[in-house]
A and B are shown apart, each in its own frame.
Chain A
Amino acid sequence: GAVVSQHPSRVICKSGTSVKIECRSLDFQATTMFWYRQFPKQSLMLMATSNEGSKATYEQGVEKDKFLINHASLTLSTLTVTSAHPEDSSFYICSASGLRTDTQYFGPGTRLTVL
């Protein structure tokens, strides 16, 4: 099956710094990637959808200047949390789909802790 990786798996940063999370499709070309956020014991909330080579489409209420998404190649999308604050602490999960996939494939997630 299709494999999606995320790096790092865990990151701890100080308030005010920026953090970049990578999402890679390892064995297929991901034309579309999705970024989700999951708070403890809660469901996944879609943050944004990105198509390769295009600007991301953000869900209502998600600050595009705070959560910068880049999808510059068919195998890599990045999420940068700018000027992170403790309330940004969460589990961030990406998923990817391609022309030859019939569903989204999810990465293992990144645990972000902002001190």
Chain B
Amino acid sequence: AQSVTQPDIHITVSEGASLELRCNYSYGATPYLFWYVQSPGQGLQLLLKYFSGDTLVQGIKGFEAEFKRSQSSFNLRKPSVHWSDAAEYFCAVGAGAAGNKLTFGGGTRVLVKP
């Protein structure tokens, strides 16, 4: 069975500082990995995804993530956080690109201090 762990429930970061959100997955085959962001009361927006190839993937809003197979990790990073980045972030793993179900991590809530 596939599973995703996001060890940090909350992270508080100052505006302009760097951000790293951790994600560890358990999956028996080649994983399809995703990061989503959710603002309060809203649906999910895809930040980036990893299917294959270059293990460092670039996403929207200045985010990037690095796939490390040896560590079963897919951590999300942003060099300089903006106040608008305050939101809930979810890591997810799936069996395929689109038509397969996703398993989500518990989420990490990011608070941005002025």
Could you tell me which A residues sit within 8 Å of B by CB distance? 4, 6, 31-32, 34, 41-46, 49, 91, 93, 95, 97-98, 101-109, 111
Contact = CB atoms under 8 A, between A and B. Distances in A.
A93 B101 contact: no
Given A109-B41, A109-B42, 13 more contacts: A31-B99, A41-B109, A42-B107, A43-B90, A43-B105, A45-B104, A102-B51, A103-B34, A103-B46, A103-B49, A104-B98, A106-B36, A106-B43
Interface residues of B, number: 22
B98 A42 contact: no
Nearest to B109: A41
Contacts of A106: 36, 43-46
A97 B98 contact: yes
B107 to A, nearest CB: 5
B87 interface: no
